[in-house]
Amino acid sequence: MAERGGAVAALAARFREGKPLITAWCGIPEPSVAGLLAAEGFDTVTLDMQHGAHDFDSISRTVALVAARGKPTLARVPVGGFATVSRLLDAGISGIIAPMVNTVEDARRFAALAKYPPLGERSWGPAPALMLSGLSPETYLKEANGFCQTLAMIETREALAVLDDILAVDGIDGIFIGPSDLSIALSNGAGLDPDGAAVRDALKHAMARTRAAGKRIGIYSLSGPRTRELIAEGFDLIALSGDGALLRAGAAAALKEARG
């Protein structure tokens, strides 16, 4: 049975089911790339505006292709790109990942632009989201704060130190860990070790605090084996590699078969 609100509301609905979700991660700003990945077994697709080449135009042209597969779309905004949040949600994005949320004030500003009153300050104008959801304007307004998900990225010592306070912000639905940036921060720039002991200890702490707050936790993963570990550890959302890496891996595998 299709979720009420269609693909726009599907992310929150699937989070409530309690099953781990694996998202494709797309930085190539060609809508057909995300559409092809949505046709595979991924639970959702994430479009990257921070380190990927997506912008509002490419995202607005991509959401419907992913929704046609009955799947929700997330977007990662640039650092400090909170002004983009409302427009992305209006376009039918189901969840926003905001990088480098290091303070409670960062979290509050993020939530304010993602949620309608009384939780936030989001202004009205979700024409594409209304079409994709099939909801009436009144119903969308009433329910959007519940299904438009906000995930604050935790990537620094500063953010870890105030994690409980960030999680306590009304309108923040959960967090998303960037293990590479976190490894750089925890080593004071000495190295890149996203699977190292320091990061794994930080992940255990973040998981415990997020579960205590009753919220969601996601993370980026570089490989299938690591993704299986993260699923076993209880993460709600795992990004499996990126579209460029998947394209290269597929090409390498095909060439190996072709050339023996």
This prediction has a pTM of: 0.97
Compute the average pLDDT of residues 40-66. Answer: 98
Confidence band (pLDDT; 50, 70, 90) for 231? Answer: very high
54 is catalytic: no
Q: What pLDDT is stored for residue 260 in this prediction?
A: 86
Compute the average pLDDT of residues 226-243. Answer: 97
Confidence band (pLDDT; 50, 70, 90) for 51? Answer: very high
Rounded to whole angstroms, the Cα distance separating 7 from 94 reads: 8
Confidence band (pLDDT; 50, 70, 90) for 239? Answer: very high
pLDDT in tens, 84-122: 999 999 999 999 999 999 999 999 999 999 999 999 999
Measured CA to CA in angstroms, residue 132 lies from 41, 46, 90, 198, 220 at distances of 21, 17, 10, 42, 27
Rounded to whole angstroms, the Cα distance separating 20 from 14 reads: 9
Q: Which of 51, 157, 211, 248 is an active site residue?
A: 51
pLDDT in tens, 170-220: 999 999 999 999 999 999 999 999 999 999 999 999 999 999 999 999 999
Q: What pLDDT is stored for residue 1 in this prediction?
A: 41
Rounded to whole angstroms, the Cα distance separating 75 from 177 reads: 15
Rounded to whole angstroms, the Cα distance separating 38 from 22 reads: 11
pLDDT in tens, 1-33: 457 899 999 999 999 999 999 999 999 999 999
Rounded to whole angstroms, the Cα distance separating 121 from 142 reads: 14
Q: What pLDDT is stored for residue 2 in this prediction?
A: 55
